[in-house]
């Protein structure tokens, strides 16, 4: 019998004190370290929950870091923002785990469903930057193709927008140039006719300056003058039309340059390129959905582990401590109310005794003062009882206040 008791005492060993890493994981799991330190069977489960929260925290920090790296070029700012928003996700996860409530041993559906929906939403958002980081090479190649296709479409849009004005300018240029060319052909015809007439190959068959040759020379000289005048009038018009065409080209080039500046490699552009890739490659779409599902599952893993974990010793001890604290607070409140009520009653009794003593000690003095007031009232010509009563009230009540 004594041997059996000795073995029993040896089996029940004191629990070792948790180390720093264990306490940190318990803090991540939003657990009370003092209560959990005495729960033998709950320690490892809450270490696992804390580890899942830690993994989610790291995922969120990396995702936010990559997200801000597509917007901000300063590495220090990216690091600060990633740490801040990663800690914000950590705080949300700890709040969701800490807020998990149980009623009569059963989970309440609506709060749990709401928290799961919130966790899934956060997981879907965090998964997007991670997926972009995993498919970065393919997305970079797709971005170049997307930029070129967008630029070509923009050029077509600019061309269609200015097609009417450009056609009018081109028609004016073509019309003027055709008129010049027509006049040049007429000049060449008149010149050839004059030369043929002077060398004897013309219609008259005479060599030299005959009357017919002089007429054709006059026509040739007139055509030359008309051509020179036409060129003189056309050159400024042509320059003006060409300047307008050049201005249109410059404006289009400037718009194109500005539009190229908007075609960045930012987060939204990468998301759009990823969607284009998934639309073009069904196999990639399946893997994209699988990766998003896995990353979202990692985000909701702490909450799922808390939901699926059965109620154990830690919850019982925590519920007992909470109930004791609530009962103690309620009793303390009731005791405070009772003490305050007793204080008010005692104060009222003491005040009554003091008032009685004051009236008793000043009885003779008040009689003398009252008699003096009456005598003074009797000596007046217009005596009114209301005035006497008012003076008496002032004497009695004014002394007390």
Question: Residues 96-153: pLDDT tens digits?
Answer: 777 775 444 445 566 667 767 777 777 777 777 877 777 788 888 888 888 888 888 8
- Lowest pLDDT segment from 24-38, 280-294, 303-317: 303-317
User: Which tokens hold the place of 378?
Assistant: 């009797």
What phi and psi values does residue 329 have, to the nearest 5 degrees? Answer: -65, -40
Confidence of residue 84 (pLDDT cuts 50, 70, 90): very high
233-252, pLDDT tens digit by residue? 888 888 888 888 888 888 88
For the purposes of burial, counting CB atoms within 10 Å of the CB of 59, is it exposed (0-12), middle (13-18) or buried (19 or more)?
buried
Q: Report residue 159 as tokens.
A: 């061309």
pLDDT value at 263 more than 50: yes
Q: Is the pLDDT of residue 258 over 70?
A: yes
Mean pLDDT of 195-205: 66
Query: What was the pLDDT predicted at 202?
Result: 61
Q: Does this model's pTM top 0.75? A: no
**Could you tell me the pLDDT band of residue 83, with boundaries at 50, 70 and 90?**
very high
Model confidence pLDDT, tens digit, residues 22-62? 888 888 888 877 777 777 777 888 888 888 889 888 888 88
Closest by Cα among 368, 372, 399, 365 to 388: 372
The neighbouring-strand residues paired with 102 are 107
Average pLDDT over residues 80-93: 88
Q: Cβ atoms within 10 A of the Cβ of 50, count?
A: 24
Residue 101 carries which DSSP code?
-
């Amino acid at each position: 019998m004594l041997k059996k008791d000795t073995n029993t005492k040896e089996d029940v060993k004191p629990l070792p004190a948790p180390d720093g890493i264990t306490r940190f994981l318990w803090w991540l799991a939003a657990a009370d370290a003092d209560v959990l330190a005495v729960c033998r069977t709950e320690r490892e489960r809450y270490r696992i929950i804390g580890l899942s929260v830690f993994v989610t925290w790291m995922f969120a920090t990396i995702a936010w870091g990559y997200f801000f790296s597509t917007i901000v070029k300063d590495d220090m700012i990216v690091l600060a923002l990633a740490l801040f928003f990663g800690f914000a996700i950590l705080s949300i996860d700890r709040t969701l785990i800490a807020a998990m409530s149980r009623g009569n041993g059963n989970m309440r559906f609506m709060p749990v469903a709401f928290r799961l929906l919130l966790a899934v939403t956060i997981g879907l958002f965090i998964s997007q930057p991670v997926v972009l980081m995993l498919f970065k090479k393919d997305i970079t190649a797709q971005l170049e193709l997307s930029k070129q296709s967008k630029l070509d479409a923009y050029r077509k849009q600019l061309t269609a927008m200015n097609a009417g004005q450009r056609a009018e300018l081109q028609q004016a240029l073509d019309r003027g140039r055709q008129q010049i060319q027509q006049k040049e052909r007429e000049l060449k015809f008149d010149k050839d006719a004059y030369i043929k007439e002077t060398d004897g190959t013309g219609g008259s068959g005479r060599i030299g300056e005959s009357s017919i040759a002089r007429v054709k020379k006059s026509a040739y000289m007139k055509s030359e003058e008309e051509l020179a005048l036409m060129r003189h009038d056309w050159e400024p018009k042509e320059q003006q039309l060409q300047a307008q065409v050049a201005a249109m080209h410059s404006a289009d080039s400037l718009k194109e340059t500005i539009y190229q500046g908007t075609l960045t490699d930012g987060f939204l552009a990468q998301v759009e390129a990823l969607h284009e890739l998934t639309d073009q490659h069904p196999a990639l779409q399946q893997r994209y959905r699988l990766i998003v599902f896995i990353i979202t599952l990692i985000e909701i893993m702490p909450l799922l582990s808390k939901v699926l974990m059965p109620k154990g010793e830690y919850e019982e001890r925590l519920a007992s401590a909470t109930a004791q604290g609530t009962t103690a607070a309620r009793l303390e409140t009731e005791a405070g109310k009772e003490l305050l009520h007793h204080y008010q009653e005692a104060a009222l009794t003491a005040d009554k005794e003091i008032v009685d003593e004051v009236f008793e000690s000043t009885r003779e003095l008040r009689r003398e003062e009252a008699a003096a007031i009456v005598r003074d009232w009797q000596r007046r010509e217009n005596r009114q009882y209301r005035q006497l009563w008012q003076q008496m009230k002032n004497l009695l009540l004014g002394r007390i206040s």
